[in-house]
């Protein structure tokens, strides 16, 4: 299971040794569950169907079918009516053949499995007729719940690792918390992308958002999707800390690489674009949540909403680079004072004259450009010079261009002779820094807005 995050434990009856400790505190931290008025949680207390529906639905959805508070014969105007009826309208829960819901009846294990799968949209069940092997010794292939058990077991949301499930066992508050917690990290391959969920061993960490892995005997470079960390090459604030933290999390570990169907398999530098997961934890999100990375929103990613929330949390709690880098992204000396700017390694006649960062072409903004100018008295060969930014991976390397004195060249996002060949906007309108490096890796000039 994931490592224990630094969460406060408000419940006096929840010892750290409890098997569901981590799940309960995490769900409490996410405002999914609460304790009792007396401050306890009662993790080993059995939970009934009404209580379970409140946890599944939460306050976000309880008013969906407020006018349908009589959705079952035994559900009227009680405190739980809106939760039960909302769950029924979503198709997350069914009643019994006699039209009742039995809200006071304790939830058993297979009922809980079905409801969690439905609520988390983790269905895609195998047909009962296709199941020929019992998932557990006490789960027969012909039972109504067997497809749900098979699915839950495949997704890793069940605690049981032995030969028995005990399908009719009553669920406790702690057990329900564990199942829901694990379901948050369940990896569900999209149709056609099942092969893109692969285990790999991390062999080295390049920086805070890039790693090398051994994938089925092949060395692959992997770019973590949806995040951006300070650049090691320019001594950005928190670059080393981000690299060290990622290394502490994943080096020499077997991780799961998960592809995002909204993005290409690889970027133009031939790096695999992946979410990286370890023991159910999304490492990409953890880097953001713990303040070591920014949410990189230039491209859409399926987990973008979660990453944006994680960044807001890190900002509000002034974690990591948000506390030490005076705005996260500005180069500082680590003390929070912006008095350490990345300066050119030597005076140069080549300068960044302008960055047109808010293009006119709708959506793709292919007309954005960086303008490089020779302000000196002699022509200069730009071969090997590189342009990149502070908030993304895109960079452009000049092949062979003799820039005459007083001359300039524009490198566009996706048009013209000199182009990043990037089909989406590169430069962040809200502000960043563009860098120009010479063919020996020395900083020539920078341009901020």
Query: For 4-49, what is each residue's pLDDT tens digit?
Result: 445 688 999 999 999 999 889 988 888 888 899 999 999 999 999 9
The 3-class SS string of the chain reads CCCCCCCCCCCCCCCCCCCCHHHHHHHHHCCCCCCCCCCCCCCCCECEHHHHHHHHHHHHHCCCCCCCCCCECCECCCCCHHHHHHHHHHCCCCCCCCCCCCCCCECEHHHHHHHHHHHCCCCCCCCHHHCCCCCCCCCCCCCCCHHHHHHHHHHCCCCCCCCCCCCCCECEHHHHHHHHHHHHCCCCCCCCCHHHEEEEEEEEEEECCEEEEEECCEEEEEEECCEECCCHHHCCCCHHHHHHHHHHHHCCCEEEEECCCCCCCECCCCCEEEEEEECCEEHHHHHHHCCCCEECCCCCCCCHHHHHHHHHHHHHCCCCHHHHCCCCCCCCCCCCCCCCCCCCCCCCCEEEEEEECCCCCCCCCCCCEEEEEECCCCCEECCCCEEEECCCCCEEECCCCEECCCCEEEEECCCCCCECCCCCCCCCCCCCEEEEECCCCCEEEEEEC
Pairing status of strand 443-448 against strand 197-207:
unpaired
Pair (297, 363) in one structural domain: no
Whether 163 and 200 map to the same domain: the answer is no
Instruction: Judge if 126 and 91 occupy the same domain.
Output: yes
Number of domains in the chain: 3
Do 208 and 168 belong to one domain? no
Q: Is the pLDDT of residue 290 over 70?
A: yes
101 neighbors 49 (Cβ within 8 angstroms): yes
Residue 120, pLDDT above cutoff 70: yes
Q: How far is CA 78 from CA 37, 58, 91, 103, 360, in A?
A: 19, 16, 20, 10, 57
Do both 27 and 170 map to the same domain? Answer: yes
Residue 190 has pLDDT above 60, yes or no: no
Q: Is residue 4 part of a domain?
A: no
Residue 224 included in any domain: yes
Mean pLDDT of 121-135: 71
Beta bridge partners of 386: 397, 437
Mean pLDDT of 180-191: 69
Q: How far apart are CA 336 and CA 330, in angstroms?
A: 10
Q: Given this model, what pLDDT does residue 412 score?
A: 93
On whether both 163 and 203 belong to a single domain, the answer is: no
Q: Kindly state whether residues 60 and 152 are assigned to the same domain.
A: yes
Same domain for 53 and 165, yes or no, is yes
| 227 and 302 in a common domain | yes
Write the burial class of residue 240 (CB in 10 Å: 0-12 exposed, 13-18 middle, 19+ buried): middle
Share of the chain above pLDDT 90, in %: 32
Domain boundary (308, 324, 340) is at 324
Which whole-number Å values give the CA distances from 387 to 166, 372, 375, 442, in the listed order? 61, 10, 18, 12
Asked whether residue 158 is assigned to any structural domain, the reply reads yes
> Long-range contact list for 2-7, CB < 8 A, 24+ apart?
2/185, 2/278, 2/279, 2/280, 2/281, 3/279, 3/281, 5/29
Last residue of a domain, one of 154, 184, 214: 184
What average pLDDT does the chain have?
A: 82
As a dihedral over the C-alpha atoms of residue 266, residue 272, residue 274, residue 277, rounded to 10 degrees, the angle is 170
CATH number for the domain spanning 293: value is 2.40.50.90
Q: How far apart are CA 418 and CA 408, in angstroms?
A: 12
- Same domain for 317 and 234, yes or no, is yes
Strands 227-228 and 218-224: unpaired
In this predicted structure, the answer to whether residue 329 has a pLDDT above a threshold of 70 is: no
Which pTM does this prediction carry? 0.45
User: Domain range for residue 249?
Assistant: 194-324
- Most confident listed range (14-28, 178-192, 255-269, 335-349): 14-28
Query: For residue range 330-388, what is the model confidence (pLDDT) as tens digits?
Result: 433 222 223 333 444 456 889 998 888 888 887 678 889 999 999 888 899 999 899 98
Q: What is the pLDDT of residues 130-167, one digit of tens each?
A: 777 888 899 998 888 988 998 888 888 898 878 899 99
Domain assignment of residue 330, yes or no: no
Predicted local confidence at residue 69, as pLDDT: 60
pLDDT at 288: 95
Q: Which residues, in sequence order, are CB contacts of 429 under 8 Å at separation 6+?
A: 357, 358
Q: Which of 240-249, 290-299, 383-392 has the lowest mean pLDDT?
A: 383-392
């Amino acid at each position: 299971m994931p490592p224990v995050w630094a969460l406060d434990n408000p419940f006096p009856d929840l010892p750290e040794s409890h098997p569901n400790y981590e799940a309960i505190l995490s769900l409490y931290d996410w405002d999914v569950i609460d304790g009792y008025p007396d401050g306890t949680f009662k993790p080993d207390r059995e939970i009934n169907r009404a209580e379970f529906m409140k946890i599944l639905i939460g306050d976000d959805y309880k008013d969906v079918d407020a006018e349908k508070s009589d959705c079952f014969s035994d559900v009227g105007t009680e405190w739980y009516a809106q939760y039960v009826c909302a769950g029924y309208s979503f198709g997350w829960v069914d009643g019994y053949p006699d039209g009742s819901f039995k809200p006071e009846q304790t939830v058993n294990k297979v009922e809980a499995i079905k409801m969690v799968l439905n609520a988390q949209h983790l269905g895609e069940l195998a047909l009962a007729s296709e199941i020929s092997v019992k998932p557990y010794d006490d789960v027969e292939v012909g039972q109504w719940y067997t497809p749900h058990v098979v699915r839950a077991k495949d997704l890793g949301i069940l605690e049981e690792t032995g030969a028995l499930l005990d399908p009719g066992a009553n669920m406790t508050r702690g057990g329900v918390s564990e199942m829901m917690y694990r379901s948050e990290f369940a990896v569900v391959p999209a149709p056609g992308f099942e092969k893109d969920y692969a285990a790999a061993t991390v062999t080295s960490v390049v920086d805070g958002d890039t790693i090398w892995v051994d994938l089925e005997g092949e060395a692959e470079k992997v770019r973590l999707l949806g995040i951006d960390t300070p650049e090691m090459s320019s001594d950005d604030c928190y670059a080393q800390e981000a690299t060290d933290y990622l290394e502490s999390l994943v080096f020499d570990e077997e991780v799961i690489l998960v592809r995002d169907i909204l993005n290409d398999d690889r970027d133009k530098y031939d790096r695999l674009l992946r979410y990286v997961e370890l023991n159910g934890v999304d490492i990409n999100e953890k880097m953001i949540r713990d303040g070591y990375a920014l949410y990189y929103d230039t491209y859409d990613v399926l987990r973008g909403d979660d990453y944006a929330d994680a960044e807001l949390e890190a900002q509000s709690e002034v974690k990591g680079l948000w506390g030490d880098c005076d705005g996260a992204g500005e180069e500082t000396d680590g003390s929070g004072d912006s008095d350490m700017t990345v300066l050119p390694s030597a005076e140069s006649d080549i300068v960044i004259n302008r960055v047109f960062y808010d293009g006119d072409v709708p959506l793709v903004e292919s007309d954005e450009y960086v303008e490089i100018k020779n302000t000196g008295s002699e022509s200069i060969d730009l071969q090997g010079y590189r342009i990149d930014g502070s908030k993304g991976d895109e960079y452009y390397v000049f092949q062979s261009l003799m820039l005459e004195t007083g001359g300039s060249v524009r490198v566009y996002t996706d048009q013209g002779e000199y182009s990043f060949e990037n089909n989406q906007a590169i430069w962040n309108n809200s502000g960043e820094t563009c860098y120009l490096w010479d063919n020996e890796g020395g900083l020539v000039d920078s341009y901020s807005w």
